[in-house]
Structure 1
Amino acid sequence: MAKYFLESSALAKRYKQESGSNFVNSLFSGAHELFYLNLAIVEIRKVFYRLWKYPQILENDVQITDQEFRKLESRFAADIIQMQRIEFTEEMIGRVAAILERRWLRSVFDLAQLTAYLITKDEYPDLIFVCSDKSNLVETAKEMAGEEFVIIPENVI
């Protein structure tokens, strides 16, 4: 059973149809073990609220109805029950320096997710990082974990 750690921008593709969504949806087939950092819940819910109350001028950003919002919330709640929740810990705070000594990550949230992935990978060496972030998070993950352990959903055919 393949193991995947879904970074929040990749996980969001499950709920907002865009490039890479088909790959992310395929991970929820039950044939894989999926992991997420508990803080990703904040970012996913932010996406839901943005679509519901605060739509932006972004690719595929269309305002959703109250009913669609509730459906997204329900689907997300069902999905995270199937996934392994990784709690943000003091160990992660301690390991941040190892990443920052090699590369600068502007987003604290990216840093938290990458640190969580790397610590979880210590326990599951075959764990794959699924990331759609457009910043240098992907390159940092490749450098820290190895290119073969990073998947960008938009690049999967």
Structure 2
Amino acid sequence: MQKVLGIAGWSGSGKTTLVEALLPRLAARGLRVSVIKHSHHDIEPDTPGKDSWRHRQAGAAEVMLLSPHRVSVVAELAQELSLEQQLARLQPVDLVLLEGQKWLPVPKLEVHRPAVGKPLLCADDARVLAVASDTLLDIALPQLALNDHDAIADFIVRWLEEGK
């Protein structure tokens, strides 16, 4: 299985903003990184009326849209994919960041903002390696300043190098 790190936190904590800031920093450190973004809501990544959308509406189980520069696959699912099934759909990379899916048993970097009003995940999840927050917290885990994207990228690179 590919190396996976969860970017976990409650809605509104800043997970997407952090992932967006980390990607160019990790790439600058020579890493190829993919992201799996989870949504609790139904998604429509295709454009209604376009050929690929029409093919899905007509009953295709999967539709692949391919150009010389990228590929997109939209698939109808009977049930949500397991982590192994998700990873099997990706090309091999140095690291896969999981945004969301905080319940999965993978190592995690928790994103926490006390202003969101939700409890720390690390209190109930021993897989949390560190917490990135906009506030100093009273916890035993390593803490990273949420807006210090270079320090967070360095933490991830060290974790990868240690092979944990």
TM-score above 0.5, yes or no: no
**What is the TM-score normalised by the length of structure 2?**
0.31
Give the TM-score of the pair, scaled to structure 1: 0.32
Higher strand share: 2
Larger Rg: 2
More helix, by proportion: 1
